[in-house]
Amino acid sequence: MDDIGTLLAQIRAYLDAPAGATPDIARMERTLTDGYAHALTLEGERRRIERRIGAVAATLEEGDKEGKAKELGELSRRLELANDQLSQLRSLLNALKARAAAVRVA
């Protein structure tokens, strides 16, 4: 699952299912695995963005200052988006993990 919107929708579908419904635990666990993999991808993206911000900031006084300022703005927006997505994903994954544990017990 590459698209975070699709992944979040799938997780929400499991979480919004009626309490008495018995979802396919194998599919639920696959969604958890996909979610954790996507979280790792987002964490890697955050690290790359943070490193780039540091590199650009270190040379801000040199060369094309306006171009670097624009790049820093774009990097900042990308970092904020990645942080928001990661926070939302982690929250939903925690809830899905709890739901999967409850399904396994039932």
Per-residue pLDDT of the chain (106 residues; tens, 9 = 90+): 458 999 999 999 999 988 777 778 999 999 999 999 999 999 999 999 999 999 999 998 888 999 999 999 999 999 999 999 999 999 999 999 999 998 888 7
CA 47 – CA 55 distance, rounded (Å)? 12
HSE-up (13 A, CA, CB side) for residue 91: 8
Following CA atoms 87, 88, 90, 94 in sequence, which dihedral angle do they give, to the nearest 10 degrees? 140
pLDDT for res 3: 87
If one counts every other C-beta atom within 10 angstroms of the C-beta of residue 89, the result is 19
For 19-64, the DSSP string reads TT----HHHHHHHHHHHHHHHHHHHHHHHHHHHHHHHHHHTTTSS-
Helix-then-strand count for the chain, H and E: 3, 0
pLDDT for res 104: 86
Residue with tokens 């993990």: 97
Q: Quote the pTM value.
A: 0.87
User: Is 1 exposed, middle or buried, given 0-12, 13-18 or 19+ CB atoms closer than 10 A?
Assistant: middle
pLDDT for res 21: 76
pLDDT for res 23: 79
pLDDT for res 2: 56
